[in-house]
Amino acid sequence: MCQKITSTLIGAVAACSILAGAAQAEDWRGWNIHVDGYPNTVAMDKFAELLSEKTGGEITLKMFHGGTLGSQPDAIEQVRLGALEVGNFNLGPIGPIAPEANVVSLPFIFKDVPHMFRVLEGEGGQRIAEGMAAKGLLPLAWYDAGARSFYNGAKPVNAPEDVEGMKVRVMNNDLYSGMISELGGNPSPMAFAEVYQSLKTGVIDGAENNWPSYESTGHYEVAPYYSLSQHLIIPECICINADVYEGLSDEMKAAVAEAAQESAALQRQLWAEREASSREKVEAAGVTTNEVVDKAPFQAAMAPVYEGYLAANPDLRPLVELIQSTD
């Protein structure tokens, strides 16, 4: 009932929240882009299960996997507006909405995944979360999405010159388009669901993603050169509509937060396993992988991307510096 109100009338979210405070049952709907068996899919289902358990059935969540409720940018809007309550989002497509969250999309800003989690657990994470919440999207917990690397159908990428003239798909975010342009390639922002066909038909030459997504989408079949550039390490969230969360009683808030934390702990464990098994699977299928031994020229080429971000968001320079100075 609550859900019907929110899906038709944005202004009714507050009314919904008040009802929730009065312990009315809430039926939430959640978005996820990934297929069955993917770590995020399993962990979001666990989140749904834990929510019912910990709230004594007062909150139930029906998950819609495989992007069936729309593309990621659309789903982000739907959660912000309250048409959906929850989503597992990558911070990449959130960046254009919340400049604080966009800091994670600066190429090479994190040294590695543990560094990213140290930042997220500290003041940097707090700042990013506040920036997102101010735009209606509250992160309840952080998921691991590893590091993203380039892949294409023609040759290994070892140096920026290898990207020259290549048409590379990116997620919707100007920072990624800038990143490809600075390497001499042609960026092609595109929905995740369209990438396989576009690689197959030659609409694009390459794309970039982590091991599990490279494998689960079948992209490896049509772009069998995977080069470990690890240029982006982007966290993901379980995100909730901020008004829906704020309208909950303290007890319910705690239950929701706890369910999200437990889901994230499971996701990170499954992620580590899947990174290894995805790599094994694609290599067994004949994919050529290469280490990018010298990342310095890639990093140096990113200076204009950083400058552009800081020029547009001068107040976020301390956040960039905080991340860079975090051990």
Residues that bind ligand BDP (CB under 6 A): 33, 72, 90, 145, 171, 192, 209-210, 213, 236
Min. distance of Cβ 192 from ligand BDP in angstroms? Answer: 3
Smallest CA-to-CA distance from 153 within 221, 230, 229 is with 221
Smallest gap from Cβ 209 to ligand BDP, in A, equals 5
Q: Report the b/e string of 236-252 with b at 16+ CB within 10 A.
A: bbbbbbbbbbebbeeeb
Query: Which amino acid, residue 250?
Result: D
Q: Which residue, chain included where needed, has tokens 């009338």?
A: 9
Which residues neighbour 167 within 8 Å (Cβ) at sequence distance 6 or greater?
185, 186, 188, 203, 204, 205, 206
Least Å from the CB of residue 248 to ligand BDP: 26
CB nearer to ligand BDP: give 6 or 172.
172
Rounded to 5°, the CA angle 18-4-77 comes to 90
* Cβ proximity of 305 and 177 under 8 Å: no
Termini Cα distance of the chain: 48
Q: Are 190 and 204 in contact (CB under 8 A)?
A: yes
* 54 versus 108: smaller Cβ distance to ligand BDP: 108
- Min separation Cβ 91 and ligand BDP, Å: 9
**Which has the closest alpha carbon to 51: 36, 62, 41?**
62
Q: Is the Cβ of residue 47 or residue 252 nearer to ligand BDP in the bound state?
A: 47
Least gap, CB of 190 to ligand BDP (angstroms): 8
- Beta carbon nearer to ligand BDP, 72 or 78: 72
Give whichever of 36 and 161 is closer to ligand BDP, judged by the CB atom. 36
Minimum CB separation from ligand BDP for residue 213, in Å? 4
CB-nearer residue toward ligand BDP: 17 or 213? 213
| C-beta separation of 129 from 197 below 8 A | no
Question: Cβ closer to ligand BDP: 13 or 151?
Answer: 151
Minimum distance of ligand BDP from residue 264's CB (angstroms)? 14
Burial of 273 (0-12, 13-18, 19+ CB in 10 A): exposed
